A and B are shown apart, each in its own frame.
Chain A
Amino acid sequence: DAGVTQSPTHLIKTRGQQVTLRCSPKSGHDTVSWYQQALGQGPQFIFQYYEEEERQRGNFPDRFSGHQFPNYSSELNVNALLLGDSALYLCASSLPEADGYTFGSGTRLTVV
């Protein structure tokens, strides 16, 4: 059983560009959360999706948006990239009847 799968694993973008990151949750998991982890820091909550709706959101600007599909997979979109958006972006999924979250290995985004 595959865990949480994220793609791509690495990418490099230029300031001002837009990027889309993808996440496939663990089998059976219907809730997907996205986190940003700057180098040397703990992950910071961006937002959470459930039933294709954004359920809650952290303190991130509107440049960060997302989507969840009927198969529970999710995308994170970031517009007008800034150098400070360089980070590891983590996706976590969870199951309604059980505790906790399963994290993917992340997408390393570098903005130059």
Chain B
Amino acid sequence: GESVGLHLPTLSVQEGDNSIINCAYSNSASDYFIWYKQESGKGPQFIIDIRSNMDKRQGQRVTVLLNKTVKHLSLQIAATQPGDSAVYFCAENQGGSSNTGKLIFGQGTTLQVKP
């Protein structure tokens, strides 16, 4: 079946520390993954994506790692700031190209940043 899961429902970190949010997926044929940030009262906001032909991709303060062997991906946030507090979702794109497939979301990890 199709499922995307996150390991921890809540992650609490100190401001300035690095955060790591994990996600496991079940479909070994999946080839495109996206991390989203969702703040209260808003829709999911794109953070970073990665294709299965890559192991790592970096953005501004964020890095996504993909381990296809164990079907695991992670989102690393460097120097976590209070504005990073939100729910983070990994999503797997299925059934089409990167802009036409359906997204399968995990349940989300709530990141709490302590000042």
Which residues of A pack against B, CB within 8 Å? 4, 31, 33, 35, 40-45, 48, 50, 55-56, 58, 90, 92, 94-96, 98-106
Is there an interface contact between B43 and A104, defined as CB atoms closer than 8 Å? yes
Is there an interface contact between A106 and B104, defined as CB atoms closer than 8 Å? no
Is there an interface contact between A90 and B99, defined as CB atoms closer than 8 Å? no
Is there an interface contact between B99 and A101, defined as CB atoms closer than 8 Å? yes
Closest residue of chain B to A9, judged by CB? B41
Is there an interface contact between B96 and A102, defined as CB atoms closer than 8 Å? no
Given contacts A96-B99, A103-B36, 7 further A-B contacts (CB under 8 A): A31-B99, A40-B107, A42-B106, A45-B104, A92-B103, A103-B44, A106-B42
Is there an interface contact between A48 and B102, defined as CB atoms closer than 8 Å? yes
Contacts of B42 in A (CB 8 A): 105-106
Closest residue of chain A to B94, judged by CB? A45
Contacts of A50 in B (CB 8 A): 100
Is there an interface contact between B108 and A94, defined as CB atoms closer than 8 Å? no
**Interface residue from A40, A55, A58 paired with B100 (Cβ < 8 Å):** A55
Most interface-central of B41, B49, B95, B102 (chain A CB within 10 A): B102
Q: Mark B48-66, 1 if CB is under 8 A from A, else 0.
A: 0100000000000000000
Is there an interface contact between A42 and B100, defined as CB atoms closer than 8 Å? no
Is there an interface contact between A33 and B108, defined as CB atoms closer than 8 Å? no
Which 4 pairs of residues, A with B, have the shortest CB-CB distance? A42-B105, A103-B43, A94-B99, A45-B102
Contacts A42-B108, A43-B105, A44-B105; A100 near B45 (Cβ below 8 A): no
* A-facing residues in B58-115 (Cβ within 8 Å): 89, 91, 95-96, 98-100, 102-108
Query: Does B34 make an interface contact (CB < 8 A)?
Result: yes
Contacts of B89 in A (CB 8 A): 42-43
Bound together, the chains give a CA A37 to CA B69 distance in angstroms of 30
Is there an interface contact between B99 and A105, defined as CB atoms closer than 8 Å? no
